[in-house]
Amino acid sequence: MPSFSSLCSLLPRVVLRALTMRRRGNRGMLVAMREQKKKPLQVHAVGKKLRRLKKVVPGCRDAGLEALLRRTAEYMLFLELKVIVLKKILDLHGV
């Protein structure tokens, strides 16, 4: 199993690759828009976004990358559930 630090070093490349993908036609195939080496500026941008995410997701200020991503997914599910509950309350009260 790869170490946590080796996974962290791969993350920016994976994220950058995902950001440069687009769907082609009706087949839904993912095609790389451009191949390029990672640049320090791009890696810095990803780090900046991760720091911003730590501020948005509750309880993640001191969390590592793995915990941050897990808690972010859990928080997104919580927010979706909250929207459903609030919609049900509105329907119940006829608003």
* Model pTM above 0.75: no
- Under the banding of pLDDT at 50, 70 and 90, the label for residue 86 is very high
Which amino acid belongs to residue 8?
A: C
Closest CA to 45 of 53, 57, 35: 53
Confidence at 5, pLDDT banded by 50, 70, 90: low
**Among 12-16, 25-29, 54-58, 87-91, which is the least confidently predicted range?**
25-29
What is the structure's pLDDT at 19?
Answer: 44
Predicted confidence (pLDDT) per residue in 9-27, tens digit? 555 555 545 544 544 444 4
Residue 6 and residue 2: Cα distance in Å, rounded? 6
pLDDT greater than 80 at residue 34: no
Q: Which distant-in-sequence residues (6+ apart) come within 8 Å of 12 by Cβ?
A: 38, 42, 43, 46, 47
